Structure 1
């Protein structure tokens, strides 16, 4: 990777992720408005169930494949690259078939015990194609990332989000679901619709861009595949714990809310407002962090192999700075304008306190996600795995103790959320410091964005007289105020030189 290769890849992926996240965010908003909080709660439970079955095929294996392909490609080993890809593709396909069979066998149990309604069994059956499609498309994405091709998988994800949006909206307007169960099933169907277009796009461009002669599964390819499995095990274990813990949260939170006095409908609706409405806002910062992590892993792996430590430190510092530049202003917006956001986006004022309380999680989750990606690129996946497990165990324990207590209720979840995120971030920073010494300019990375954020909030407040009573019809006023704030934020960043003058010149000169 050339001097500016990381910058080019990261900036490109930020733009691609921006369009993808905007489509996804709009989808979440429309879905929440059309289906309601209870449907969103059921959908989130179904999604967690699906991810529990998918974790073996989409967590450790694709990440390990990206790292190995990046290393082999830097050594000019195209035969090994194609060989390891084919073996991994076949292996993931067979695993997906096996997992689909297990899902079908336990479908009644899942519908009744986990989704709390036998009528949700149809939604369980619609998870089967999703398991196969997701497993294969993630292998193809890993191949492209390892080859430093950010364009093809980036466009694939935009296509996936767009086709899912259009497909699900069309089904909703045709079927007009009248109960939460039907709405949740339609949302689950949408996962397979979008991902199938992603898979077809990726297969087409894989065959077109990387046509190779038939390559036998030689000794080198088989050895690399065994290496891949060795690397994938700790990542899969980490992912498995995270998904199992997420699924436990999904089941535990509503049940513990009912134990503290909530009705079943109130518990599911509360869960839907948090995970289906407030959480998508918190995840908006992943527009940048997701792009950085995808680009960091192969970039740092290559730099480690070539012992380019100066470039490693530069890229890590740039990643942390970019994360704060995006997540800090979002945190401020959610904190100050939680009520107008709840009304404008969801027409549901009950979401406002959840947006406000979770706002500070924006910057914490973004930083933790970026640092975790750095550790993966630095071959510290075992330590990162242990940190994640510790964090999630703490969250589960606190949720069980606090949420079921009538004195805390749903506030117990927020306490568990923040404690677990802070613990994970601190532990990851300790590991990072032990692996590589970074010279961080705190004034530049934190001070300047904080100053710009203050000016941004002031500009938004000055351009509106009654933003707190904003109604969903005041679209122009709402967007105009935000645009003024964004311009003020960028202006302060420029005059304080928080963004280097030659940044875009370096970007344009990157190959």
Structure 2
């Protein structure tokens, strides 16, 4: 399989990520309809621990593998590539066995003590088979990234989510008669099955396209014993990444514990805690992060763009690229935030059949507008070679969030809203810390003129959407009224962006496939 250029590889992964996000969102809707907030809560209580398990198992090796494989392949050293794979698989395989055994032995006590609701035990047990699968998958994915062949990774992502959706529906239907805790465990195990099929797909591609490049030894022991140098190279790159990953995964894993304990202190029953946590993490947060897909694309493109300009010491270009990225993110973030705020009740009712979650969405949506500024600033710090500072900012924000959860959420007058305020304050702090250090390093200033014009276009759009919603005939279904209002007001938003010269002719024409068609519809000079 041929190597792919950086641009082509990034485009393939971005397109796959967009499709994957849609599939994940679809799966979330299916689960919410069948399980309700209580079942979603049981599932979401254990999912954060998956990141911690995988970080402890892979110890940052996928990143290190991609780096070392790329270097070895550039040198034409196939022997080294083979050693990297053997050492990596041996190390992650051994670690996965240890983590699996510990998880199985501690599952009962862990779920009953830390997660408040003992029914989460079944979901936790269903998650454990993901450990060895994720370990092997991480090595294989690191290899494909190092060989700069992104198509298999993109296809495996989509394939995994399709399998996940199918098995979610099948397993939940089979297990729901036995109780909500078993159905929730079924949704967790469906993700394990999806990962297994994804791994089988990648191994099949590897065997067909890359396996012929290697002579597989009858015994891997000599390669392991002679692979000390490879191991040290892997750990040199992997451990710093793992350190950051452990801290962030631990923070995310502690969140459900802190939240459940805090809400219990506020006098909320265990069943209601599970429902409220399910509404927040299973209904509200997926809606908040769905349009934030643009941030993932910016992470891919901005870091190398900033690195390149920084290598040339072109500070002016760095500032311009950061402002361009922030502008691009806000073009999506502003209308998304406005729609989520104005149509919170309609969206929650139509998508999840859970109108009671609308108040949570309405409170949190405005705060997460800053996330569209945070991501470009975070990528800028990494591109400037300040990854340690970016990591410290993340750790400080995560620590502040955890410290605020208990005093806010344990207040009976706030309850679950205290959790929202804690998460929002942590997100705002991280944004301001990133901004402070970017200003410190390159004397950066935001393009307020562009931001104000985007906000103005978004305000006109929001007013238009509510007017359209009111004017539509009462015979329309609420879902159709909401959809029509959003689509028509988006057209108004685009026209205002063109009129206010936020979108220029040069920007439009660069859009792949549809750029020239669009310029004929919006002839900006």
Aligned to 2:404: 398
Task: Give the Cα separation in 2 of the matches to 1:61 and 1:323.
Answer: 31
Corresponding residue of 1:157: 157
Q: Residue 259 of structure 2: SS of its match in structure 1?
A: helix
Number of the residue aligned with 2:454: 449
How far 1:405 sits from its partner (Å)? 2.2
1:176 to 1:341, Cα distance in 2 relative to 1, 3 A: same
In the TM superposition, what is the alpha-carbon distance from 1:454 to its structure 2 partner?
2.2
Deviation by residue 1:372-396 (Cα, 9 ceiling, x = unmatched): 3443444433222221221111111
Count how many residue pairs are aligned between Structure 1 and Structure 2: 503
> Which structure's relative contact order is higher, taking Cα pairs within 8 Å and 6+ residues apart?
1
- Consecutive unaligned residues in structure 2, runs of 5 or more: 217-221, 514-525
Report the Cα distance in structure 2 between the residues aligned to 1:219 and 1:314, rounded to whole angstroms: 51
CA-CA distance at 1:268 after TM superposition: 1.4
- The structure-2 alpha-carbon separation of the partners of 1:97 and 1:500, relative to structure 1 and needing over 3 Å to count, comes to farther
Partner of 1:48: 48
The 1:496–1:13 alpha-carbon spacing in structure 2 relative to 1, beyond 3 Å, is farther
CA RMSD, 1 decimal? 3.6
Residue of structure 2 equivalent to 1:112: 112
Instruction: For residue 100 of structure 1, report the CA deviation from its aligned partner.
Output: 1.0
* Aligned partner of 2:470 among 455, 465, 487: 465
Cα displacement (A) at 1:269? 0.9
Q: Which residue of 2 aligns with 1:234?
A: 240
Q: CA deviation at 1:230?
A: 2.6
- Write the deviation string for residues 412-466 of structure 1: whole angstroms up to 9, x where unpaired: 222211221111122223333445565753433x234323322322332232217
Contact 2:323 2:447 in 1 (8 A): no
Distance of aligned partners of 1:431 and 1:221 in 2 relative to their CA distance in 1, 3 Å threshold: farther
TM-score, normalization: structure 1?
0.86
Q: Is the 8 A contact 2:175 2:182 kept in 1?
A: no
C-alpha deviations, 1:269-327, integer Å up to 9, x for none?
Answer: 11111111101111113322123324555x36974897585776666554333322222
Contact kept? 2:122, 2:182, Cα under 8 Å: no
Of residues 255, 272, 276 in structure 2, which corresponds to 1:266?
Answer: 272
Contact 1:293 1:374 in 2 (8 A): no
User: Conserved in 1, the CA contact under 8 Å of 2:43 and 2:120?
Assistant: no
Distance across 2 between alignment mates of 1:71 and 1:489? 47
For the residue of structure 1 that corresponds to 2:505, the secondary structure is: coil
In 1, are the aligned partners of 2:326 and 2:376 still within 8 Å (CA)? yes
Q: Deviations over 1:3-35 (max 9, x none)?
A: x97665555444322211111111112211210
Q: 1:453–1:59: structure 2 CA closer, same or farther, 3 Å change rule?
A: farther
Among 482, 486, 493, the residue aligned to 2:490: 486
Change (3 A) 1:163 1:367: farther
> Is 1:389 matched up with 2:390?
no
Residues 220 and 90 of structure 1: CA distance in aligned 2, closer, same or farther (over 3 Å):
closer
Matched ranges for 1:18-417 at <5 A: 18-57=18-57, 60-67=60-67, 83-116=83-116, 120-177=120-177, 179-210=179-210, 212-214=213-215, 223=229, 225-296=231-302, 299=304, 303=308, 316-417=322-423
Distance 1:256 1:458, change over 3 A: same
**271-280 or 426-435, which deviates more:** 426-435
Distance 1:220 1:314 in 2: 49
Gaps of 5+ in 1: none
Distance 1:82 1:336, change over 3 A: farther
Q: Which has the larger radius of gyration?
A: 2
